Amino acid sequence: MATGELDVDLPESRTEADGSAVIRVLSYNIRSLRDDEEALARVIRACAPDLVFVQEAPRFFRWRKHAARLAAKTDLVVLGGGATAAGPLLLCSLRAFVERTEDVLLPLVPGQHRRGFATAVVRFGGARVGVVSAHLSLARDERRAQAGLLLAKLRELDVPYAIAAADVNEGPGGPAFGLLGAELQDCWAVRPWGSGPTFPAARPERRIDAVFASPAVEVLGCGVPTALPGVSSADLLSATDHLPVLAALRLRA
């Protein structure tokens, strides 16, 4: 499939006869719900995800209430994260069987924002998968170090499949993005579907948001769902300052 081409028949979620699972995962920086929450909810619902890797979830006053409200509006449930992970949040559909969750705070570098990971191990059909949502630092060296910690955390989860999604805060040419891509599949690069650049939403020029998967995961398509039925340009512009990344992945039993 040519880069930038959109196949509106991106596979839908399903459990196959052999117990394998096709899942949809969405990565989305929601800028602390400071924009049009209804537009955001419409975009997420139209993508029909099984997992949503959120960055910049609300972290302060009544943050749990805000996360629960977003989950309810999108027919999902809160899996983990939020303020206890310094911003990353995980939402999931009722298809996911949850084994465990853990929120991780990363070392604080003076002068920088606190960062963390929202992590979980879930099952779809007969497939176990470890997931991490992350938002890496604005500082180059710290960002690369955090990418290394993310990979270490995925290994620690000790599961057959792993998916990480992040606002990497740099493009594929950067050291953190490169470190992640050396061990994991950069899903858009493997099977591009839709457009690639994610920031800024109004005039996207940089691909700084990405879905990564371990080598055993089969990538069926990944990209910004700009022409997916139910996703309007107006909602994408109103929802937040980033564009989302949607991927369809197969996890074999």
Q: What is the bridge-based pairing of β-strands 21-29 and 218-223? A: unpaired
Residue partners of 64: CB distance under 8 A and separation at least 6: 78, 82, 83
**Cβ–Cβ < 8 Å for 21, 15:** yes
How large a percentage of the chain has pLDDT more than 90?
A: 90
Write down the mean pLDDT value for the chain: 95
pLDDT tens, 103-126? 999 999 888 899 999 999 999 988
Q: How many CA atoms lie within 13 A of 239 on its CB side?
A: 23
Provide the 3-class DSSP secondary structure of residue 56. Answer: coil
Give the whole-angstrom CA distance, residue 86 versus residue 134.
Answer: 9
CB atoms within 10 A of CB 203: 7
pLDDT tens track for 182-229? 999 999 999 999 899 999 999 999 999 999 999 999 999 999 999 899
- Residue 139: CB partners within 8 Å, gap ≥ 6? 109, 112
- What are the tokens at 250? 């197969």
Q: What is the pTM of this model?
A: 0.95
Domain boundaries, the chain: 21-251
Fold for the domain defined by 21-251 = Deoxyribonuclease I; Chain A (3.60.10)
